[in-house]
Amino acid sequence: MESIRVLTLKAMEATPSTFQDYGQVVEASPDGQEFGPHDAQLDLTQGTPRFYILRLENCPLKFASITHHASVTQCIGSVGGHAWYLGVAKSSIVDSNEIKDNTGKKIVQSRSGHSYVPPDIEDVQVFKIAGSKFVKLNRGTWHAGPLFKADSMDFYNLELSNTNETDHTTHYFKKNNGVKSPMAESIMIYGY
């Protein structure tokens, strides 16, 4: 029988400072405020933007894979400000001109053509997002979720019209690292 290693990560509140390595937390601003760094800094230049309401059902507080989008920033927030959770890891996209890997880490080419280093399970952080705010994920930020306790939730989502077809790279922890991650208020990652 395989031995199981347990790593427990406490979900932290997503704030502009705690989330800055992964993107932005955007909160309400007064009417008439000029555009600035408090607004989502978007990159939607690689296609047609798609803004829609996404209904998710049965997304319990656990995950076994993590995904990134290399061509777009993505914004997501819950309709109604209900609490939800998101596992993230920093972007690990590798510039094709810099594919000389001196770190010993495996470089993978995605089916959409870009190169990346698979995320380490130790680099995953979990955030709780609640209230009238949303997160903007930087291009290439790995993410697992939205995850939530309710049976279903609605989310507004801004990405490109073809993000899920042409720009959806997934890393499976169980398959690639022997890890599956169940999550509660704190997340436990077990495996290897």
What would the mean pLDDT of 153-161 be, rounded to a whole number?
A: 97
Is there a contact between 83 and 61 (Cβ–Cβ < 8 Å)?
A: no
Give CA separation, 52 vs 18, 123, 188, in Å.
27, 30, 32
Task: Locate the DSSP E strands across 11-110.
Answer: 12-13, 23-27, 49-57, 62-63, 65-68, 74-78, 84-89, 93-94, 108-109
Is there a contact between 91 and 138 (Cβ–Cβ < 8 Å)?
A: yes
Structure confidence at residue 73 (pLDDT):
97
CATH fold label, 5-27+41-190: Jelly Rolls (2.60.120)
Q: Is the pTM of this model over 0.85?
A: yes
Using 50, 70 and 90 to split pLDDT, how confident is the model at 95?
confident
Place of tokens 């955030």: 127
Is there a contact between 121 and 178 (Cβ–Cβ < 8 Å)?
A: no
- Rounded to 5 degrees, what are φ and ψ at 157? -140, 130
**Average pLDDT value for the chain:** 86
Please write the tens of the pLDDT for every residue from 45-64.
999 999 999 999 999 888 88
Question: What are the extents of the domains in the chain?
Answer: 5-27+41-190
Using 50, 70 and 90 to split pLDDT, how confident is the model at 121?
confident
Is there a contact between 148 and 85 (Cβ–Cβ < 8 Å)?
A: yes
